[in-house]
Structure 1
């Protein structure tokens, strides 16, 4: 027992020090470029698929109303994005994405949405499913039935936007969020990219209307609006902004560039010197978290910060994508095995779906450009300093004794 008491603190100290050294390695490990993707992508997707097979989408639905759709649609989209980067994944990606689309279009996938809305089941469900449908066709457009369905669903969306007095259609009866309409409009742009210009007038009308309804406090698209006329009801928030900025470059690169600059200036933060991270509310505004943002830590939304990786990638912001990606490897508690990779010990698979969708993000309608935006050169130093202090802490007494012994030794 005495021997155990002597060695137990040393064992704990070794574990702590090794964990900190691993953390340093993860923080410094090179991140993929904007035209690349993490080497662990297939293993991440393997974990997400296993979780989906085990009912994770149904479990996510119990957390928030879009949980089932997001769990499946992000898995399918991540596979398509990965295949655009690595052509060897094409066949597997097509099977996986078509499987995901079928689940989103199932009775369970549509259960919480109203078929009486225009478009049917609301713009959230219609927009995301149409984007996934078009993304699949961007890999393989030989399926005439799938092409016909994409054309029909795109026409339904275009008709709904043309008939509305607002650019922001309803996702649920009496509720509208601009982010959902942004995804839907991007799917129309993707249709035109794949099959010839047809909806340019609809898209341009949407852009004109959307620009007239920006949040005056930030100059950005608002979080929630009146379904009647698109007027602001809830100001700009990061949980919707990060998704918006993933899709705006697909619609209008010039408008997207201006909007992304405003977003970066007002939402990127370094609380306590740590970061970069994304605030849920713009600088100078405080608010509480909810089911979308998760609990806020010093105003930071972890979910928005994760999705910001994808937004940064498609906006050419390599510096931010790299920094947040490195922080994710440090703070996300990844378990990386030869056959799978998961974050947060795999306790929230929908979070893993957002991670892999964001880390593989790439444009499907436009040619990407690289910006000159940067993050402060010192952003890693607070993390490295903290890791070093924690690594040394268990050995404090040993180090002190060693210094005293060497200082007091006879000459």
Structure 2
């Protein structure tokens, strides 16, 4: 028993120290460039698919209203993005993304949305579904039936925007969020890239209207608006901004760049010297977390920070995308197995869907341009300092003991 008590602290100390060394290695390991993707992408997708087969999308629906849709649409989109980077994945991407689209359009996928809205089932469901369909066609447009369906749905979305007095259509009866309309408009822009310029007038009108309804406090698109006229209800928040900036470069790169600079200035933070990460509310504004943002840690939205990696990638913000990716490898508790990779021990598969969608992000309508933005060059140092402190903590008493002068034994005759 005495031997166990003597060795147990040393074993714990060795485990803690090794874990910190692994964490430091993950933080320092080079991240993929803007035209690359993580080598673990296929294993991440394998885990998400396994989780979907076990009902993770239905479970996510119990956490927030769009859980089922996001679980499937992000899985399908991540496959398409991965195939655009690695053509060897094309066949698998088409199979899996079409499978995801079918789940979106199932009765379960449509269940919470209103068929009375225009476009049908609301702009959230219509926009994300149309974007996934467009993304699939960007890989393979030989399915004439699918091309016709895309044309029909795109036309319905365009007619809904053309008929509305506001650029921000309803996702649910009486509720409108600009991010949802941004996704839908991006799907029209991708339609025009793939099949000719049919919706330029609608897109240009949307941009003009959207620019006239920016949040005056930040100069950014708002979080929530009045469905009647698009007037401000809730100012810009990172939860929606990160998704907006994933899609805005697909619509208008010049407007997107100016908006992205404002967004970065207002939301990028280093709480306690750690970061970079995304505040849920603009600098100088405090607020609480909700179903959109999840719990906030020192004002930081972990979900928004994950999605911000995708926004940074499509904007060519290489340093920020790499930093968020490295932090995810340190803090996300990844578990890598031969056939799968999961974060947070796989306890929340929808989180893994957001991670793989963001880490493979790439624009589908415009080529990525490198955007030079400032990032603290020393951002890793606080993380490394924390790891060093944790690594030596189990050995403090041992080190103190070694530092104490030993008493000389007195020899008596």
Using the size of structure 2 for normalisation, the TM-score is 0.98
Secondary structure of the structure 1 residue equivalent to 2:404? helix
Shift of 1:292: 1.2
Secondary structure of the structure 2 residue equivalent to 1:336? strand
The 1:198–1:407 alpha-carbon spacing in structure 2 relative to 1, beyond 3 Å, is farther
Report what 1:362 is aligned to: 362
Secondary structure of the structure 2 residue equivalent to 1:255? helix
The whole-number CA distance in structure 1 between the counterparts of 2:43 and 2:374 is 30
The whole-number CA distance in structure 1 between the counterparts of 2:123 and 2:352 is 25
Report what 1:228 is aligned to: 228
The whole-number CA distance in structure 2 between the counterparts of 1:329 and 1:39 is 13
| Structure 2: 5+ residue stretches without partners | 409-413
| Deviation per residue, 1:189-235 (Å, 9 max, x gap) | 00000001000000000000000000000000000000000000011
Report what 2:131 is aligned to: 131
| Structure 1: 5+ residue stretches without partners | none
Secondary structure of the structure 2 residue equivalent to 1:362? coil
Instruction: Kindly indicate whether residue 359 of structure 2 is the aligned counterpart of residue 397 of structure 1.
Output: no
| Deviation per residue, 1:63-120 (Å, 9 max, x gap) | 1110000000000000000000000000000000000000000000000000000000
Secondary structure of the structure 2 residue equivalent to 1:316? coil
Instruction: Kindly indicate whether residue 351 of structure 2 is the aligned counterpart of residue 351 of structure 1.
Output: yes
Report what 2:411 is aligned to: none
Shift of 1:267: 0.1
- What do you get for the CA RMSD once the two structures are aligned? 1.2
The whole-number CA distance in structure 2 between the counterparts of 1:138 and 1:352 is 24
Report what 2:4 is aligned to: 4
The 1:317–1:7 alpha-carbon spacing in structure 2 relative to 1, beyond 3 Å, is same
The 1:402–1:97 alpha-carbon spacing in structure 2 relative to 1, beyond 3 Å, is same
Report what 2:150 is aligned to: 150
Q: Could you tell which deviates more after superposition, 372-381 or 129-138?
A: 372-381
Q: How does 1:121-200 map to 2 (within 5 A)?
A: 121-200=121-200
Shift of 1:367: 1.2
User: Matched residue pairs, number?
Assistant: 409
| Deviation per residue, 1:339-376 (Å, 9 max, x gap) | 00000010000000000000000000001100111311
The whole-number CA distance in structure 1 between the counterparts of 2:301 and 2:169 is 26
Report what 1:74 is aligned to: 74
Instruction: Kindly indicate whether residue 344 of structure 2 is the aligned counterpart of residue 340 of structure 1.
Output: no
Shift of 1:403: 2.7
Instruction: Kindly indicate whether residue 327 of structure 2 is the aligned counterpart of residue 327 of structure 1.
Output: yes
The whole-number CA distance in structure 1 between the counterparts of 2:240 and 2:105 is 23
